[in-house]
């Protein structure tokens, strides 16, 4: 059986460094808000190219805290609207509604599955305060049109970079192109911890200070509480593990690009639509704007193809089977019609891709798909 993502194998590749990191924290006697988190924040902030990095408990909290901070600062208030892609993982939208802000869903471009920049302006109203872009599947979703709108309407640009650690937009890493970005280090992400972990990156010093306080009971100084905060901290163990894996992230992403390149060059089955980035074929190897968190194909008979691949020992997943606006959690949005989003959810299938996927496995998956 070829697993969709073999986390045991992925993390074993970093032995003995991970064990040394775990042991270092264990024996330090210091488990929260210590040197490992401080060092990781510096290293990850430098990697992304942001002046400030704040470790938090997970990716959802990273996004929640950004908007909670904008509310504390007075940039946003209850009922304000945030533009967000309709085709995203539900966490992007939960972060908005948790702050009593209103998500305004925008359809994706069918070719990239990312937000269609040219459908945004028609959704902007007097209450729009921000745009949250999601670099879905590891692909940059920033676009000059979005920059134009941010400047024209004086909006905050928030990046959901949960799936795109290492990806580029031009010469900048995603996570440093907006006003603030949320990152997730959920174990299955390209930079994955051994449990939950997340971070916020931003160049905005005031925002960074409020987020740091909000994630620690609203306190900047022990036992002095400035805000009604929460407890959302990155712990030392996870930071120490992430420091090990960060060193290898670009190389790991490069291996994913090579797998994607092979799929793109060799999957020839006419019933399958390959993911389309700018000039996909033969360009992936050098194209830094995609880190292939997921390799997502589309096909009309998705469930049948998935069964066939399972029968042949290949595990695939669907990202995602039900769009946020059709979830029970968002009954108020169930009636909205978003045909492109709904089509994507009915047709997508994610093939195995990872830094440790072997060449024979990639060949076998490709041959099996072509024989379908
Ligand atoms: C994983 C993910 C999140 C949430 O991250 P957690 O660490 O699981 O809270 C948010 N947005 C997107 C697009 C994600 O893929």
Q: Rounded to the nearest 5 degrees, what angle is found at the Cα of 196, between the Cα atoms of 306 and 194?
A: 80
Residue 276: the pLDDT is 76
d(CA 54, CA 37): 9
Query: What distance in Å separates the CA atoms of residue 359 and residue 357, rounded to the nearest whole number?
Result: 7
Atom of ligand 1 lying closest to residue 134 CA: 13
Cβ of 138 less than 6 Å from ligand 1: no
Alpha-carbon distance of 102 to 129, in angstroms, equals: 10
Cα–Cα distances in angstroms (integers) from residue 198 to residues 24, 101, 127, 189, 232, in the given order? 21, 22, 29, 11, 9
Q: Distance (Å, rounded) from C-alpha 134 to C-alpha 53?
A: 19
Q: How confident is the model at residue 277 (pLDDT cuts 50, 70, 90)?
A: low
Please give the average per-residue pLDDT across 97-108, as a whole number. Answer: 98
If you measure from the C-alpha of residue 58 to the centroid of ligand 1, how many angstroms do you get, rounded to a whole number? 8
The residues with which 115 forms a beta bridge, in sequence order, are 108
Ligand 1 pocket mutation, candidates 62, 66, 186, 318, criterion most atoms within 8 A of CB: 186
Residue 298 burial (C-beta neighbours within 10 Å; 0-12, 13-18, 19+): buried
Whether 192 is in the pocket of ligand 1, judged by its Cβ within 6 Å, is: no
Q: What does the block give as tokens for 244?
A: 């090990």
367: CA distance to ligand 1 center in Å? 32
The reported pLDDT for the residue numbered 289 is 83
Does the beta carbon of 186 sit less than 6 angstroms from any atom of ligand 1? yes
Q: Tell which residue, 9, 273, 280, 256, has the closest CA to residue 138.
A: 256
Three-point CA angle 184, 187, 193, nearest 5°: 75
Q: How far is the CA of 264 from the centre of ligand 1 (A)?
A: 26
What is the arithmetic mean of pLDDT over 310-320?
Answer: 97
pLDDT band of 278, cuts 50, 70, 90: low
Residue 288's pLDDT band, with cuts at 50, 70 and 90, is confident
Helix (H, G, I), strand (E, B) or coil at 106: strand
The model's pLDDT over 297-314, given as tens digits with 9 standing for 90+, comes to 999 999 999 999 999 999
In percent, the amount of the chain with pLDDT more than 70 equals 97
Confidence band (pLDDT; 50, 70, 90) for 282?
Answer: low
Ligand 1 neighbourhood includes 299 CB (under 6 angstroms): no
Q: What separation in Å is there between the alpha carbon of 185 and the centre of ligand 1?
A: 8
Q: Is the pLDDT of residue 283 over 70?
A: no
- Residue 238's nearest CA partner among 6, 26, 22 is 22
Note whether 209 and 220 are within 8 A (CB).
yes
Q: Indicate the average pLDDT of the chain.
A: 96
Q: pLDDT tens across 29-63, in order?
A: 999 999 999 999 999 999 999 999 999 999 999 99
CA of residue 205 to ligand 1 center, whole Å = 24
- Report how far apart the first and last C-alpha atoms of the chain are (Å, whole number): 18
Q: Is 139 in the pocket of ligand 1 (CB under 6 A)?
A: no
Residue in 55, 57, 62, 91 to alter for ligand 1 test, most ligand atoms within 8 A of Cβ: 91
58 CB within 6 A, ligand 1: yes
- Rg (C-alpha) for the chain, rounded Å, is 20
Q: Answer for the pair 344, 242: CB distance below 8 angstroms, yes or no.
A: no
Which atom of ligand 1 has the smallest separation from the CA of 91? 10
**The pLDDT of residue 285 is above 70:** no
Task: Report pLDDT digits (tens) over 130-173.
Answer: 999 999 999 999 999 999 999 999 999 999 999 999 999 999 99
- Tokens encoding 67: 């908007």
Indicate which atom in ligand 1 lies nearest the CA of residue 188: 1
């Amino acid at each position: 059986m070829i697993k969709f993502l073999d986390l045991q194998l992925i993390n074993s590749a970093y032995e003995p460094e991970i064990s040394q990191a775990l042991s270092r924290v264990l024996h330090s006697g210091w488990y929260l808000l210590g040197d490992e988190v401080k060092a990781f924040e510096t290293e990850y902030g430098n990697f992304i190219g942001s002046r400030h990095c704040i470790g938090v408990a997970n990716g959802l909290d990273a996004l929640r805290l950004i908007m909670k901070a904008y509310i504390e600062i007075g940039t946003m208030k209850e009922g304000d609207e945030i533009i967000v892609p309709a085709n995203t993982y539900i966490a992007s939208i939960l972060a908005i509604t948790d702050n009593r802000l209103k998500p305004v869903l925008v359809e994706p471009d069918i070719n990239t599955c990312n937000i269609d920049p040219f459908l945004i302006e028609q959704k902007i109203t007097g209450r729009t305060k921000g745009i949250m872009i999601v670099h879905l599947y590891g692909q940059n979703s920033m676009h000059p049109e979005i920059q134009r709108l941010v400047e024209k309407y004086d909006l905050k640009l928030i990046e959901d970079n949960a799936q795109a650690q290492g990806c580029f937009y031009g010469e900048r890493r995603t996570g440093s192109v907006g006003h603030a970005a949320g990152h997730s280090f959920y174990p299955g992400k390209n930079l994955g911890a051994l449990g939950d972990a997340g971070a916020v990156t931003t160049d905005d010093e005031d925002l960074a200070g409020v987020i740091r306080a909000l994630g620690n009971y609203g306190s900047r100084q022990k036992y002095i509480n400035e805000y009604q905060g929460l407890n959302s901290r990155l712990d030392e163990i996870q930071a120490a593990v992430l420091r090990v894996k960060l060193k290898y992230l670009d190389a790991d992403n490069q291996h994913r690009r090579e797998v994607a390149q092979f799929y793109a060059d060799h999957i020839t089955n006419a019933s399958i639509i390959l993911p389309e980035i700018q000039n996909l074929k033969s360009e992936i190897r050098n194209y830094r704007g995609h880190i292939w968190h997921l390799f997502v194909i589309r096909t009309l008979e998705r469930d049948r193809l998935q069964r066939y691949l399972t029968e042949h020992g290949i595990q695939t997943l669907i990202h995602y089977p039900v769009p946020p606006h059709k979830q029970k959690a968002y009954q108020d949005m169930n009636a909205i019609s978003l045909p492109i989003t709904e089509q994507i959810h009915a047709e997508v299938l994610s093939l195995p891709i990872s830094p440790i996927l072997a060449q024979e496995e990639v060949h076998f998956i490709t041959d099996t798909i072509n024989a379908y």
